[in-house]
Amino acid sequence: MGPGIFIKAILQSSFSLMVFGWTQIIMDIQPLVVLITGEGHLHGFTHTYIGAVLLAIFSALSGKYLSEIGLMFLGLAKGEPIKIVWWVSFLSAFIGSFSHVFLDSIMHADVEPFYPMTLDNPFHGIVSVSALHKVCSYSGLIGAGIYYAISWRLKKT
């Protein structure tokens, strides 16, 4: 979620952190099923770029409405309900699914991001898992700082 928070800070209302987060959940349902059942390829089709396209479409279509309801329940929709426009939902879902495949490709040797063209994973190990965790954590912290600085500045004007 760290990179998502950073992207939210930069794109503001042109990005939905809720849809992005929903996409992260959808992406990891297949590995969860494998962990529970002990059957299948841990990072299978859902962790390919073809799978990411399909899951992004599903996540955008379902996440738009779920996020609008979630924002209402969280009390963030003061007065009129917050509406997420379709292009923001799709942009957020595609960023979520593609970044998920990319980051998991760096971390996990069994990810085959370019399946069925190749089973190779050219991203695996380009940085250490520790460094990847730091990038994700720091991007979230920096993103949160930027987001709240912009929000504070806008409230003052």
The pLDDT of residue 156: 83
| Per-domain boundaries in the chain | 11-124
Strand intervals (E) in the chain: none
- What was the pLDDT predicted at 77? 64
Give me the helices (H) in 74-128, please: 86-107
For the chain (157 residues), the mean pLDDT of every run of 10, in chain order, is 97 96 97 95 96 98 95 78 94 98 97 97 97 98 96 84
What pLDDT sits at residue 80? 79
pLDDT given at position 115: 97
In this structure, what are the phi and psi dihedrals at residue 82, rounded to the nearest 5 degrees? -80, 125
Confidence at residue 7, expressed as pLDDT on a 0 to 100 scale: 97
pLDDT for residue 126: 97
